Amino acid sequence: MTSTVRRLRTSAHSVGFPVDKIGIKAFGPQGLERLVAQSGQPRFRAAQLTKWIYSRNAISFDEMTDLPAAWRETLASTTPLTAPELVAKQISKLDGTRKYLWRLADGVSVESVGLPGPERLTVCFSTQAGCAMGCSFCATGAAGLTRDLAPGEMADQVRLVGLDFEKRVTNAVAMGQGEPFANYEASLDALRLMNSPDALGIGARHLTVSTCGLTTGIDRFAQEPEQFTLAISLHSAVQATRDTLMPGVRGIPLRALRASVSAYAERTGRRPSFEFALIDGVNDSDAELGALIEFTRGLLCHVNLIPVNTIEGSALRRVTQQRALEFLNALVHSGTESSIRTERGADIDAACGQLKQTASAER
Ligand code: SAH
Ligand code: SF4
């Protein structure tokens, strides 16, 4: 093994992902810069390399004719140019939403969703294969965590969905499978790739992270220099209800969550949103509504109400549109901005929480 390969297998600039398996997609922007420096190449090569991979969609190092041939050979043998392979695609007849199943370089599978709009294309990408948090209403949580995704594996989902639609991706949301703040560094590196003008060039404010409420992640996110957007899955402002629905965050009291979100809003001046999946007979009572109003009172925030999407094998039922409207009106009346999220891709199980983890992607 050459010393370069040995050094690459250590995780110094790949945030701990195995470069021999995942290849160059193990790196975010800084990792690519370090790779270039370590190879003794001038700094501008990092931008060239990034453009070839993420903006010119190269499928081999051979195409990168403005890079020195000898370096291209080294790269090909030490950091292969991998990409997710499309295993299955479904297109919603209702609204054109597309759901994708990808097979990653090591055989692990993940899903992404493309949501077209009149003047936008939003991609919902996964940050982990599976999820360890075990929320009772979410299909992803049911099978546990397979592994974290590397920065390039996240950016590639967004890139490839854009290519499939033959449209520029305007927005990307980390609302697919996984908890982004349980894979913090790679998720942030992925957002930076998406944001980089050399890669996907998506504006920071159009890049959203959704977290189940890991306060250490929220605190860290507040310090990041980019203007990325934050969403927090709340689902109940009553501790006992939230503990049952979201066992993975049982150790984080609502009080601490509110304090972190409030500090985030104050520090950044940006408005975070809370997601609240309304479940019949679980979190839709007047007492739940009262607790939600108290929780959000005086906080710079927006509440997204989502009639829960039903998942296979679950007894949880969605509320009526009438009940969702009652929540909406009461929140707005109390001074908190709110809206009801319309369901997309219902006929292909592509809505929030319906992405499933399969052990490996069979063709
Ligand atoms: N792990 C992160 C991001 C992925 S989930 C998080 O939990 O925030 C994306 C969003 O879908 C979250 O708000 C999540 O709570 C919500 N969700 C999960 N299952 C759902 C369901 N069955 N119906 C509606 N929303 C759901
Ligand atoms: Fe994980 Fe989010 Fe699903 Fe909870 S809702 S299991 S945190 S993906």
Q: Which of 96, 104, 45, 114 is nearest to 75 (CA)?
A: 45
Task: Identify the nearest ligand to the CA of 208 by its number.
Answer: 1
Task: Identify the nearest ligand to the CA of 275 by its number.
Answer: 1
Q: Considering only CA atoms, which residue is closest to atom 26 of ligand 1?
A: 353
- 133 pocket-lining for ligand 2 (C-beta < 6 Å): yes
Digitized pLDDT (tens) for each residue of the chain, 363 residues in all: 344 444 444 444 556 899 989 999 999 999 999 999 999 999 999 999 999 999 999 999 999 999 999 999 999 999 999 999 999 999 999 999 999 999 999 999 999 999 999 999 999 999 999 999 999 999 887 889 999 999 999 999 999 999 999 999 999 999 999 999 999 999 999 999 999 999 999 999 999 999 999 999 999 999 999 999 999 999 999 999 999 999 999 999 999 999 999 999 999 999 999 999 999 999 999 999 999 999 999 999 999 999 998 887 788 999 999 999 999 999 999 999 999 998 888 888 877 777 766 654 433
Q: Considering only CA atoms, which residue is closest to atom 4 of ligand 2?
A: 135
According to DSSP, the residues that pair with 98 across neighbouring strands are: 91, 114
Distance 212 CA to ligand 2 centre (A): 7
Query: Reduced to 3 states, what is the DSSP secondary structure of residue 249?
Result: helix
Distance between CA atoms of 99 and 86, rounded to whole angstroms?
11
Contact 218, 252 (CB under 8 A): no
pLDDT value of residue 315: 85
pLDDT value of residue 349: 82
Angle CA 216–196–125, to nearest 5: 60
- 306 pocket-lining for ligand 2 (C-beta < 6 Å): no
Distance between CA atoms of 78 and 74, rounded to whole angstroms?
6
The pair of structure tokens assigned to 315 is 């007894």
Distance 138 CA to ligand 1 centre (A): 6
pLDDT value of residue 9: 46
Q: Which of 138, 211, 356 to mutate to test the pocket of ligand 2 (most atoms within 8 A of CB)?
A: 138
Distance between CA atoms of 66 and 72, rounded to whole angstroms?
10
Q: Which of 233, 284, 318, 356 to mutate to test the pocket of ligand 1 (most atoms within 8 A of CB)?
A: 233
Task: Identify the nearest ligand to the CA of 276 by its number.
Answer: 1
Distance between CA atoms of 357 and 140, rounded to whole angstroms?
6
Contact 199, 28 (CB under 8 A): no
Give Cβ neighbours of residue 186 (< 8 Å, ≥ 6 apart): 15, 17, 28, 127, 148, 149, 150, 151, 154
pLDDT value of residue 5: 42
Question: What are the catalytic residues?
Answer: 111, 352
Give Cβ neighbours of residue 320 (< 8 Å, ≥ 6 apart): none
